[in-house]
Amino acid sequence: MRFAIVTETYPPEVNGVALTVQGLEHGLRNRGHDVDLIRPRQQHDTGGIAHELLVRGAALPRYPGLRFGLPAPRRLARQWQRQRPDAIYVATEGPLGWSALRAARRLGIPVASGLHTRFDEYLPDYGAAWLQGTALRWMRRFHNQADATLVPTLELQQFLLEHGFSRARLLARAVDGRQFDPTRRDATLRAEWGIGEDDLVVIHVGRIAAEKNLGLAVTAFRRLQQQRPDARFVWVGDGPVRERLAQQNPDFIFCGVRRGDDLARHFASGDLFLFASRSETFGNVTLEAMASGVATVAFNYGAARKHLRSGHSGVAVDNDESFIAAAVQLASDDEMRTTLAANASRAMQRLHPERVVAEFEVLLNELATRRRCHAVAAA
């Protein structure tokens, strides 16, 4: 079958949406399907690849290196008239995503959308909490035009259904245990950080931005540092508040954006992962930390609620005070931290990205079959 995937972010951009979309795309292609990828042209692009349609984009304000796609309804319509896909997956809600929805609806092609980002949850961190209701209505209007809206947890599915999203469907997430693995721990890398093997590395991986609740992670680190003066905080990633964070905390170690096996090496070389974000739809980095054998403290929702057994494979908390207390406890108890990390790594070995792709394939096939049946009935 032929499928099309429309996304406004894609590797080498590093974020959960880009990497999830790439995994689905490659997975479908490995299962024998033709997959056309539609995305904004990036700075490194020199020419088109046969299965890619590159459209115009613009820089995303306050996020260097990220772009969004400009509207392209006519170009998409021409593309899909020439090579009609059986179904389309629209991964992002930007201008390109809206164009794809409209073009698909005009051509009668079934569409699944993906809800990867809770934009309404970001707004308080940017001083615009009063716009949360408007953002949720905008998201609902977008996703209700699709034949299905894919979400990673039952928790989020229930929330959407309660708020008028009419066709929320579950598509689980997984982590590649062949890439994220405790054996990638690297004493040489730790030495480059100026950290001994017995010292404590607290690590944060992800976008360094206001919506990640970084102030809480910093507070927890400073508190645990009182018990473990040897502790150092290593930050992997980039974002709009990195410079300010570095100025305020000159002892922090910033490694920038890391990809692939290099990212896995950085993850596995940490000892304690503090994930203070409360605005994720899922939080892929939680699974990556667990698979890497790094003890994890995270809030009890998304990936942590679904996959982290608190007290067995990490610690899931419900409030800021518990987050700080858990960080201090794990920093002070080497035996507990080691046990939780080992249990987490074993738990992640049961997750298989191939199974997620298979479920994605079934869902797209279902949408395509349903549309064909409706067309025959109407003929």
Q: What is the pLDDT of residue 364?
A: 97
Q: What is the pLDDT of residue 379?
A: 56
Q: Which of 227, 240, 294 is nearest to 265 (CA)?
A: 294
DSSP 246-279: HHH-TT-EEEE---HHHHHHHHHT-SEEEE--S-
- Whether the pLDDT of residue 377 is over 70: the answer is no
In this prediction, residue 137 has a pLDDT band, given cuts at 50, 70 and 90, of very high
Tokens found for residue 132: 């949360």
pTM of the model: 0.91
- Whether the pLDDT of residue 57 is over 90: the answer is no
- Say if domain 2-174+353-378 classifies as CATH 1.10.3720.10: no
The fourth-level CATH superfamily of domain 182-348 is Glycogen Phosphorylase B; (3.40.50.2000)
| Residue that has been written with the tokens 């645990």 in this structure | 224
N- to C-terminal Cα separation, the chain: 23
In this prediction, residue 48 has a pLDDT band, given cuts at 50, 70 and 90, of low
Task: Tell me the CA distances in angstroms from 23 to 11, 80, 120, 175, one per residue in order.
Answer: 10, 23, 26, 10
Mean pLDDT of 337-342: 97
| Residue that has been written with the tokens 């905080």 in this structure | 233
Domain ranges of the chain: 2-174+353-378, 182-348
Task: Tell me the CA distances in angstroms from 216 to 161, 219, 221, 226, 243, one per residue in order.
Answer: 31, 5, 9, 16, 18
Q: What is the pLDDT of residue 295?
A: 98
How many whole angstroms separate alpha carbon 36 and alpha carbon 21? 12
Residue 254, φ and ψ in degrees, nearest 5:
-110, 125
Mean pLDDT of the chain: 93
Going through 110-186 in order, the beta strands assigned E by DSSP cover 111-114, 148-151, 168-170
Report yes or no: 261 and 278 within 8 Å, Cβ to Cβ.
no
158 Cβ contact partners less than 8 Å away, ≥ 6 residues apart: none
